[in-house]
Amino acid sequence: MDELKKKFHEKSSKLRKDMRAFIKKNGAKKVDEVVAGQVFGGMRGVKSMIWETSSLDAKVGIRFRGKSIPELQKILPRVKGGTEPMPEGLFWLMLVDEVPTKKQADWLSNEWKKRSKIPDHTYSVLTTLSPDTHPMTQLIIGISSMQVDSVFAKRYAEGMNKADYWDATYEDSMNLIARLPHLAAFIYRRSYHKNVHIESDDSLDWAGNFAHMLGIKGADFKSLMRLYLTIHADHEGGNASAHTSHLVNSTLADVYLSFAGGMCSLAGPLHGLANQEVIKWIMEMTKELNTTKPTKEQVQQYIKDTLAKGKVIPGYGHAVLRQPDPRFTAQRVFAEKHIKGDDFVNIVWQLFETVPDILAGLGKVKNPWPNVDAHSGAILVHYGMKEYSYYTVLFAVSRALGILAASCWSRALGLPLERPKSVTWDWLRKAAK
């Protein structure tokens, strides 16, 4: 058994025992209350699931195993000469709650290389799709097509013991994470680069190789991908994509199915697709105003016009956060360091100065601040990735790290089928009396 798997088994076995003892002792204790507004209001804030890999605080933002993004940037291993953390290190941290050494992160890189071969039929399936199929749809189809390789599904059909679910889920998760950059790069090159593909470079790390296979050259873009794939990796369990995956996986559907399900959620414009919507909206602004250097007044008017058309301002607002998203800040710091005088990046910063006051002035928006999606597009355009319909795929590759680490935990803890209670409006009316 490999070192990471052994550590995970030891830690999760202990926590499983602790969890059972805790439930026996405290199972009937009240920890939360639900009010009628939450029943109608998308279940905001209702505490109803366990998610070990990260947690989100409205004021301070995301913490991965208790660590902020600036902390991760200091403590996680980096490639030689690199300026950003290796996402391999974050996966290790999320899975076993230990910061890995560089040697351990390199081992994981190599392990993923060994597991990265995509079955030929997946390429054939994707090739039959209309070339204008949205990249997220292609990704979801590609992931689903690989389900035939699921170790969990195969062992389950053979009568696997419940005690081994964690093992098969670990194997599937490692295989899927290893394959995703290859699948995602294939989709990018097929959709936007005349189906001309770039061979994997086995000397590179997981994120560096992804950048290489996308075909965007330069050390800065590799650094950007390491940062991007780290900061988008997890956002506790209640967000739509993580929660969808968790729900599907709770039926003992394997992670190919459950992660594909989660990615259907990520592809919605109120969630991950907002990253494409932001840059699309900015590009439309520059076209409408006929300038890439708009004045403050022009930007204000454009925001107001968007709201007047009954649309949201993409990249702003959040269901939990009540401060600027630290993932936005991390990207801003990256851009300040690496990019000078880029018009789209400047517009992103101009929006940061302008949007919050306008949204706050509406009196109904709970969080007028930028979220993770407000910044990424302008940086990607700067490095030459202008095809914004692809951006959510980058988010998806990253989000696999958190969702799949959490799926390993769900199966190791033996979490049950998820099944909350719905009520009718009539029931709620009576209960409110």
Binding region for ligand CMX (CB under 6 A): 239, 270-272, 274, 312-319, 359, 364-367, 371-373
CB of 319 to ligand CMX, least distance (A): 4
- Our CB check for ligand CMX shows the closer of 66 and 361 to be 361
Long-range contacts of 56-60 (CB under 8 A, 24+ apart): 56/235, 56/236, 56/320, 56/321, 58/320, 58/321, 58/322, 58/323, 59/322, 59/323, 60/323, 60/326
Catalytic residue at 132?
no
Long-range contacts of 216-223 (CB under 8 A, 24+ apart): 216/383, 216/384, 216/385, 218/383, 219/81, 220/338, 220/383, 221/383, 222/82, 223/82, 223/83, 223/84, 223/334, 223/338
Residue whose beta carbon is closest to ligand CMX: 317
CB of 310 to ligand CMX, least distance (A): 9
Alpha helices in 115-202 (DSSP H): 120-128, 135-145, 151-157, 165-192
Active-site option among 134, 246, 271, 338: 271
CB of 329 to ligand CMX, least distance (A): 15
CA distance 149 to 160: 16
Active-site option among 134, 182, 212, 318: 318
Q: Which residues neighbour 176 within 8 Å (Cβ) at sequence distance 6 or greater?
A: 143, 146, 255, 256, 259, 400, 404
Q: 297 is written with which tokens?
A: 């007044």
- The packing angle between helices 373-382 and 391-413, to 10°, is 130
Catalytic residue at 121?
no
CB of 237 to ligand CMX, least distance (A): 13
CB of 396 to ligand CMX, least distance (A): 11
CA distance 2 to 133: 39
- Our CB check for ligand CMX shows the closer of 27 and 310 to be 310
Q: Which residues neighbour 252 within 8 Å (Cβ) at sequence distance 6 or greater?
A: 152, 156, 165
- Our CB check for ligand CMX shows the closer of 57 and 164 to be 57
Contact at 8 Å (CB) between 86 and 105? yes
Active-site option among 167, 172, 205, 373: 373
Residue count (the chain): 433
Q: 127 is written with which tokens?
A: 């090739």
Catalytic residue at 9?
no
Q: Which residues are catalytic?
A: 271, 318, 373
